[in-house]
Amino acid sequence: MTNRIREAFLKNANKKAFIPFITSGDPSLEVTEQLVYAMEKAGADIIELGIPFSDPTAEGPVIQEANLRALSNNITTDDIFKMVENIRKNTQIPLVFMTYANVVFHYGTERFLDRCQGLQVDGIILPDVPFEEKEEFAVSCQERDIAFISLIAPTSHERIKKIAESAEGFVYCVSSLGVTGTRSEITTDIGSMVSLVKEGNPSIPCAVGFGISNAASAAAMAKVSDGAIVGSAIVKLCGKYKEDCIQPVADFVKELADAVHGL
């Protein structure tokens, strides 16, 4: 399934991928499911589904609040697996779970990943599991052909090459210091981070996330990498429009996806 992620990066004419993020269960799992279909139609190449966690330490206020909204609806990991089961009846778009180590660990890492494998989940992102701790999760992922996606940050410097060497799926390039959330500008030299990734692993795609707020910045980030990830700017719309967020999200994702794909 790690190949489906690769293919998602290669299928567009300009070989760039657009990856939106939403928090499962915000505002409801029914809406989340519909958002997946709408975002695929609008041009998303891979979709990141957040599994809410009570204390998401890498998130800014927008996604923190989305997590709390989902949890206050009593959404559980099992409910999310059931939703993905429905999604898989309708689409094979690459899906990547983004959550925190404890959600996976406490469910039972093997049990969690067995469920993922059964549902053809393509990858998993755990922002609180750095390179030094990844073996605990990555080995079990490999056994099931699930990509354990690594992150690099503006502070990673000499770590980037070694992270890239064993990276799978794609490398998640964190554009800025701090937590998730939209920013008015991104000042990091993304281009040189991406070159370091490619030095370590020439074939791994590298997508940029954190702080991308509009089509122009998505296009700019995709230009210097292989793709753009947008979370908070989309989740903001889910928070604002609630049950009626499907159309506004679809419109926004289309704008972003077109920009990334150079259309």
Partner 1 sequence: MSKGRFGIHGGQYIPETLMNAVNELEEAYNRYKDDPEFKKELKDLFNQYANRPSLLYYAKNMTEDLGGAKIYLKREDLNHTGAHKINNCIGQCLLAKKMGKKRVIAETGAGQHGVATATIAALMGLECEIFMGREDCERQALNVYRMKLLGAKVHPVDSGTKTLKDAVSETMREWTNRVEDTHYVLGSVMGPHPFPTMVRDFQAVISEEIKDQLFQVEGRLPDAVVACVGGGSNAIGTFYHFIPHKEVKLIGCEAAGRGIHTKETAATVNTGSLGIFHGMKSYFCQDSYGQIAPVYSISAGLDYPGVGPEHANLYDEGRAEYVPVTDDEAVDAFEYLSRTEGIIPAIESAHAIAYVKMLAPTMKKDEIIVVTVSGRGDKDVAAMARYRGEQIYDE
Minimum CB distance to partner 1, residue 158 (Å): 9
Query: Are the C-beta atoms of 152 and 7 separated by less than 8 Å?
Result: no
Which H or E run includes 75? Answer: none
Query: Are the C-beta atoms of 263 and 19 separated by less than 8 Å?
Result: no
What is the rounded CA–CA span in Å between residue 10 and residue 213? 24
Binding flag, residue 24, partner 1 (CB under 8 A): no
Binding flag, residue 153, partner 1 (CB under 8 A): yes
Nearer to partner 1 by C-beta: 12 or 77?
A: 77
Query: Are the C-beta atoms of 17 and 66 separated by less than 8 Å?
Result: no
Binding flag, residue 77, partner 1 (CB under 8 A): yes
Nearer to partner 1 by C-beta: 57 or 90?
A: 57
Binding flag, residue 37, partner 1 (CB under 8 A): no
Binding flag, residue 154, partner 1 (CB under 8 A): yes
Binding flag, residue 123, partner 1 (CB under 8 A): no
CA angle 52, 62, 112 (to 5 degrees): 15
Residue selected from 33, 37, 88, 105 as contacting partner 1 according to rule CB under 8 A:
105
Nearer to partner 1 by C-beta: 133 or 243?
A: 133
Residue selected from 11, 41, 106, 240 as contacting partner 1 according to rule CB under 8 A:
106
Binding flag, residue 133, partner 1 (CB under 8 A): yes
Residue selected from 102, 187, 192, 247 as contacting partner 1 according to rule CB under 8 A:
102
Query: Are the C-beta atoms of 96 and 48 separated by less than 8 Å?
Result: yes
Nearer to partner 1 by C-beta: 54 or 247?
A: 54
Query: Are the C-beta atoms of 124 and 71 separated by less than 8 Å?
Result: no
Which of 106, 96, 107 has the alpha carbon at shortest distance from 151? 96
Query: Are the C-beta atoms of 141 and 124 separated by less than 8 Å?
Result: yes
Nearer to partner 1 by C-beta: 177 or 263?
A: 177
If you count them, how many residues does the chain have?
263
Side chain identity at 197, as an amino acid letter? V
Binding site for partner 1 (CB under 8 A): 53-55, 57-58, 60-61, 64, 68, 71, 76-78, 100-107, 127-133, 150-157, 159, 163, 174, 177-179
